[in-house]
Structure formats: C-alpha cells, structure tokens
A = this chain, B = another copy of it.
Amino acid sequence: MVQKEINEIGKKAKKASYELAHLGTLEKDEILNGVASGLLEATADILAANEKDLAMADKMGLKGAIVDRLTLNAERIKGIAEGLEQIAALDDPVGEVLEMKKRPNGLMIGKKRVPMGVVGVIYESRPNVTADVGGLCIKTGNVCVLRGGKEAFNSNLAIVNIFREVISSKGYDPDMIQLVTNTTRESANALMKLNTYLDILIPRGGGGLIRAVVENSTVPVIETGVGNCHVFVDRTADLEMATKIVVNSKTHRPGVCNAAESLLIHAGIAEKAIPMIGKALLDAGVEVRGDDLVCHLLTDAKQATEKDWATEYLDYIISAKVVNSLEEAIAHIHTYGSSHSESIVTSDYANAQYFLDRVDAAAVYVNASTRFTDGFEFGYGAEIGISTQKLHARGPMGLRELTTTKYVIYGDGQIRK
C-alpha cells in the first residue's frame, strides 16, 4: 500500500522533472521569490500549523533542542523567506558547458551541467529544511520528494503548499515539489527502494537514520553526517592561537557536526599547552576527558576511556590525549575520526603540509577552527548538507553538487573506424 503510494509520487515527480529541468533561470527565480512572498503573507497560517505540531510534540513528551528546532515564529519565517531570496540571487549552475574540446576526428565533445532529475530527502524535525531543500532544488532544476518527520508534518505541509500554489499560479506542474504525507517508517523504506524514479536520496538527520538509508537504499545516496573532529596542537604551535582555535572549534556551536570532539597535543609541548588550553576549556564550561598525562597536568580533567576517543559528544565535552608525534596524531585520527573536519595548529611548514597531505577527511585545516566546514563559510551561498563520503561530493555541498553532467557531442557525420 505504502509502496504504491510512494510509487505514484515518484511517477509524478519524474513527469514534472522534464518540465522543471528546462525552466530558465528567470522563471526559477520568479518561483523562489514568489514563494518567499507567499510565506510572509501566510505567516499566520504557517504558525497555526506549527502550533498543532508543537501541541502534538508536547503530548508526545518531546523537550529541549527538538522542540526548539521544531518551533517557528514570525522572525524565523522571515529568515526562511530571506533564505529563498538569497538562493534566487545566486548563479544558476545549470547549462554551463565544461571542457569542450575538439577531437582529432572533428567531434566537439563537452560536458554540460544538468539537473540530477528527482531528489529525495528524508529528514527530521526542522521545518526550515523543507523550504531550504525546496529552494535549492528548484534553483537547480530538480524536482524534490520530501519525507519530513511526523513531528513537523503540519508545518511542512503548510510550507510545501505555498510552493505548490506559487508553481501552479505560474502555470507549471505543482508536482515539482511533493511532501510525502505518510510519515511512517514504511514510507521512508519505500523511498529507499524507489530507484526507478529517484536519482538521488539524501538523508539529513541522526546517525541511525543515515545508517538505515545507507544499508537499505537502492537509490544512490549522499551520506551526510557524523563529525568526530580533532584539533591537533603540534609541538611548534603558537599556544595563544591554539587555545582560541580549540575553544572556538569546541564551543562556538557544540551541537553541530563540524564542532571539535577531541584534542590531540604533542608531548613536546604538553606541559605548557595542557594547563593553558585546558583552563580555557574549563572556563568555557567544557568537561575535559583526558588520558593519564592530561589528567596529571589538568587536575579538573576526568579520566577518558577508550570509548571517548570514538564519541561525537555534540555537547560541552571534549576528549584530550597526548601523542608523541605527528604520525601518531594522524594514526589516531584515522582510527577514531569520521573523516569530516580535522585541524592542525603548527608553525612548522613541513608538518602543516604533511598533515594536509596525509589526513584522509573531507576538510583538512592548518591553523583554523574546524567550524568553517560549511557551505556559506566556503562561499557557496547555500548548502544542502555536508558530505562525509567520497563519491560525487565531499564536504559542504552547494548548488553545483545538486547537478550532474551529460556529454554533448557535435559531429558532422563521424562514424567509428
């Protein structure tokens, strides 16, 4: 039953994709700006829908960060609308032709940037993701199928309906954006098997969701995700700089994937570095879980266990360990890290280059906070997520990562000899 319903959604999405893929930039931007206005005008309706979700969340006993992420207000709706206007203002990546070249036989061969087609996104609580994904997909000529969490269903539906009304009012097929109304686990599973219609599936949410999608999907997946990020303070580090970078990486926003979870310190500087950086962390309200030497040099540190090295706390907690060399630091990162964002603080040229070369991660930093791994900070103006896998896209994904290419070949009668 659910599979049939999801199949119908997929079929409609595919059909709409042929129209959306060929809308001009102007037409797509008009939709985005129209939706931005529409959201502002419908603020009262969206807030009423959000109230329903919040009342249900209260009944379900949800609390804290989840409820915060779920909550909309006039200010947040304004922010969502502005986000769509910003996407409209970005360059359209679709249509660019790359690497056009003439072959010896006269064939002109180029790669043309084109939409993926149909993008599926499975996500949790935040209703702003609905508008963000809808906006990014329309800008890139992609039809989207959105499967949000049941806790945000009414809010998501209110937002998607405004997209659909604006699209219809301009004479296009509203199925360019569809919300899956069935929010059971079955609907998520059905989407994972929809490779006839979906070109790509992006899970956005906790580790459990991402694992389930990677394990069950027959649709190509872009894995976003887990960030067990390290800062390594090398023997030659400027300790003032190191302190600022460690504290910023840990505390600027502890609940996100590019926050640092672990501190590695070169033994040659440990005696000075650990008290200094440790105190700054403690002053910032961070619990430090250290190895023996860290605990010895920082009396308020707690003893770390093996499990700590592998933990993404997403909280005011950091693990800390002394290493005897750059190589040991890198080996530790490869053993426990999640290949997201890794930073070295050093004043040694060769060590900086060695770390950049050897660390296998989406983003590798010298002398900077891990918190910069972000589409906006990288200058992409928008972000659909941060890929921690190696295929198609790695690191922050902007508009371009929602496109693929096709070869276009201009001939004048060439046949193969």
Q: A residues within 8 Å of B by Cβ?
A: 18, 21-22, 101, 103, 107, 109, 112, 114, 116-117, 195, 199-200, 214-215, 218, 220-222, 238, 241, 244-245, 248-249, 252, 334, 352, 356-358, 360-369, 371-373, 377-379, 389-392, 394-396, 404-416
Q: How far is the CA of A414 from the CA of B356 in the complex (A)?
A: 17
Given contacts A238-B413, A252-B415, A411-B367, A117 and B390 within 8 Å (CB-CB): yes
Shortest CB distance A252–B (Å): 5
Q: How far is the CA of A416 from the CA of B195 in the complex (A)?
A: 40
Q: Which residues of B contact A395 (CB under 8 A)?
A: 405-407
Q: How far is the CA of A248 from the CA of B413 in the complex (A)?
A: 11
A222 nearest CB neighbor, chain B only: B391
Q: Is the CB of B367 within 8 A of A406?
A: no
Q: Is the CB of A406 within 8 A of B362?
A: yes
Q: Is the CB of B390 within 8 A of A404?
A: yes
Which of B117, B215, B391 meets A200, CB within 8 Å?
B391
Interface of A is mostly: mixed
Given contacts A365-B409, A367-B411, A334 and B372 within 8 Å (CB-CB): no
Q: Which residues of B contact A334 (CB under 8 A)?
A: 18
Q: Is the CB of B411 within 8 A of A365?
A: yes
Q: Which 4 A-B pairs have the closest CB atoms?
A: A368-B411, A248-B415, A371-B416, A390-B404
Q: Is the CB of B22 within 8 A of A409?
A: no
Q: How far is the CA of A283 from the CA of B394 in the complex (A)?
A: 52
Which of B18, B116, B358 meets A390, CB within 8 Å?
B116
Which of B352, B368, B390, B415 meets A413, CB within 8 Å?
B368
Q: Is the CB of A405 within 8 A of B416?
A: no
Which of B21, B396, B409 meets A372, CB within 8 Å?
B409
Q: Which residues of B contact A366 (CB under 8 A)?
A: 409-411
Q: Is the CB of A220 within 8 A of B218?
A: no
Q: How far is the CA of A334 from the CA of B396 in the complex (A)?
A: 32
